[in-house]
């Protein structure tokens, strides 16, 4: 089969034309952005233009955007006890993270293991707010990290409510907004988050670029007293090293394009996803769509059919011309039981069969047809085989 359809956009999105063009233009410049000559100033101009584009994506001022090598680095930069708020030089004494976070957050960053506590979620994967309040009551200067939208289920967290709870407890809130940016509203002021992590390649920019964004309205601001990478004064002393001008330029251009098309793309992708899920249930009624009753990203569907094994299903989909995944793409290609589904209380046997379908701005009705045809072949073959084996 020569025809293929890509349904792994949550792992990485194809490079947008705008991002590619910006990168090619940047690669033609010889200057170092830290140099004061004309060539250096030209490179600096591209970085600052991209900073403004990324800032616009999340509704803040350019000065609040710090470029990194990706969201993992941005998360590591944010998750440190050495965070100061309002001029108070008091280290954070506790890190609270939800039990469905990306591994780059659940590992705790620069906090000691004894300082980290996981927050439970309900059966949809939404953070238990009462548990959050109870955990905050035991910490004097907490840092809380909760993702905007889950990379596996697409379930969106009530960040505004979480913000109010965290700030009432003298806490700082970090939000991993990697999956939400460019797909849903991600205005840092509206969300109320103090720190926000972004990734370029999730919204059509290049791999190897990301950003940590700070909220500007906090009196005295949020200050990171201990940068992750020390050396030169790049990125206002928050991230040493010569900037990757081409990647940053591509990030900025992609952020602007994603922002401009976000609302129209969201409506179209949600309709395509809903069509897929409806047909899925008709063909295999026992199929479970995880988080289906919660607010979700418009492009994400995580499902499983009893008796299905994700390893064989993904290979079978691939052989039928469709690229899907089993969840997070950050496990070195390994297919294993999702920690997200485990936290949601899903039975291991069902969780082992979880398949993630994620759509993007170029996904078409024809792609959905190819996906559904592939599913019918996968289900007919693998489910019958598993039933015979049982």
Is pLDDT at 329 greater than 70 in this prediction? Answer: no
User: Model confidence at 86, in pLDDT bands (50, 70, 90)?
Assistant: confident
What's the whole-number mean pLDDT along residues 237-249?
Answer: 95
Residue 189, both tokens: 């002021």
Is pLDDT at 184 greater than 80 in this prediction? Answer: yes
Is pLDDT at 188 greater than 80 in this prediction? Answer: yes
What's the whole-number mean pLDDT along residues 232-245?
Answer: 93
Residue 11, both tokens: 């792992």
Q: Which residues pair with 67 in a beta bridge?
A: 211
Residue of 330, 365, 380, 387 marked active site: 330
Task: Give the other-Cβ count within 10 Å of 387's Cβ.
Answer: 10
Is pLDDT at 221 greater than 80 in this prediction? Answer: no
pLDDT of residue 385: 54
Query: Do 300 and 218 contact (CB within 8 A), yes or no?
Result: no
Q: Which residue has the higher pLDDT, 122 or 236?
A: 122
Query: Do 358 and 299 contact (CB within 8 A), yes or no?
Result: yes
Alpha-carbon distance of 276 to 270, in angstroms, equals: 10
pLDDT in tens, 332-360: 455 678 999 999 999 999 999 999 999 99
- The overall average pLDDT reported for the chain is 93
Is pLDDT at 331 greater than 60 in this prediction? Answer: no
Percent of the chain with pLDDT over 90: 86
Alpha-carbon distance of 287 to 214, in angstroms, equals: 41
Lowest mean pLDDT among 84-93, 257-266, 271-280: 84-93
Alpha-carbon distance of 246 to 209, in angstroms, equals: 10
* Order of all β-strands in the sheet with 300-304: 288-289, 300-304, 355-358
Q: Is the pTM of this model over 0.75?
A: yes
Q: Which residues contact 388 (CB under 8 A, 6 or more apart)?
A: none
Alpha-carbon distance of 377 to 26, in angstroms, equals: 46
Alpha-carbon distance of 274 to 311, in angstroms, equals: 25
User: Model confidence at 388, in pLDDT bands (50, 70, 90)?
Assistant: very low
Alpha-carbon distance of 387 to 376, in angstroms, equals: 16
What's the whole-number mean pLDDT along residues 250-276?
Answer: 98
Residue 215, both tokens: 């909220």
pLDDT in tens, 190-202: 999 999 999 999 9
For the chain, domains (ranges, CATH) are 5-13+262-389 (3.90.1150.10), 17-255 (3.40.640.10)
Is pLDDT at 330 greater than 80 in this prediction? Answer: no
What's the whole-number mean pLDDT along residues 260-285?
Answer: 97
pLDDT in tens, 125-172: 999 999 999 999 999 999 999 999 999 999 999 999 999 999 999 999
User: Model confidence at 390, in pLDDT bands (50, 70, 90)?
Assistant: very low
Percent of the chain with pLDDT over 70: 94
**End-to-end distance of the chain based on CA atoms, in angstroms?**
31
Q: Determine whether 107 is an active site residue.
A: no
Q: What is the four-CA torsion angle of 180, 186, 192, 193, rounded to 10 degrees?
A: 50
Collapsed DSSP state (helix, strand, coil) of residue 339: helix
């Amino acid at each position: 089969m020569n025809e293929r359809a890509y349904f792994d956009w949550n792992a990485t999105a194809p490079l947008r034309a705008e991002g590619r063009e910006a990168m090619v233009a940047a690669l033609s410049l010889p200057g170092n952005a830290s140099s004061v000559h004309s060539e250096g100033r030209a490179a600096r101009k591209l970085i600052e233009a991209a900073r403004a584009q990324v800032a616009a994506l999340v509704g803040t001022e350019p000065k609040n955007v710090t470029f990194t090598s990706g969201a993992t680095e941005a998360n590591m930069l944010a998750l440190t006890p050495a965070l100061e708020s309002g001029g108070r030089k008091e280290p954070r004494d506790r890190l609270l993270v939800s039990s469905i976070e990306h591994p780059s957050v659940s590992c705790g960053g620069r906090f000691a293991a004894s300082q980290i506590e996981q927050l439970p979620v309900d059966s949809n994967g939404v953070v238990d707010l009462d548990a959050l309040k109870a955990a905050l009551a035991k910490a004097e200067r907490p840092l809380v990290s909760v993702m905007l939208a889950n990379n596996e289920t697409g379930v969106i967290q009530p960040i505004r409510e979480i913000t109010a709870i965290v700030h009432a407890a003298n806490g700082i809130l970090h939000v991993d907004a990697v999956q939400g940016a460019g797909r849903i509203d991600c205005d840092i002021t509206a969300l109320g988050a103090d720190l926000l992590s972004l990734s370029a390649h999730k919204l059509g920019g290049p791999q190897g670029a990301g950003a940590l964004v700070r909220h500007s309205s906090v009196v005295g601001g949020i200050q990171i007293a201990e940068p992750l990478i020390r050396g030169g004064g790049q990125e206002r002393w928050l991230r040493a090293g010569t900037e990757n001008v081409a990647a940053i330029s591509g990030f900025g251009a992609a952020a602007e394009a994603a922002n401009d098309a976000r609302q129209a793309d969201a409506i179209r992708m949600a309709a395509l996803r809903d069509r897929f899920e409806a047909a899925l249930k008709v063909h295999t009624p026992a199929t479970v769509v995880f988080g289906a009753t919660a607010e979700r990203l418009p492009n994400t569907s995580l499902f499983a059919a009893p008796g299905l094994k994700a390893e064989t299903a993904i290979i079978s989909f691939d052989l039928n011309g469709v690229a899907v995944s089993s969840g997070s793409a950050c496990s070195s290609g390994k297919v294993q039981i999702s920690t997200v589904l485990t936290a949601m209380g899903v039975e291991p046997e069902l969780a082992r069969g979880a398949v993630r379908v994620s759509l993007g701005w170029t996904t078409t009705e024809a792609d959905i047809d190819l996906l559904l045809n592939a599913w019918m072949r996968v289900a007919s073959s693998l489910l019958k085989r598993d039933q015979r084996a049982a």
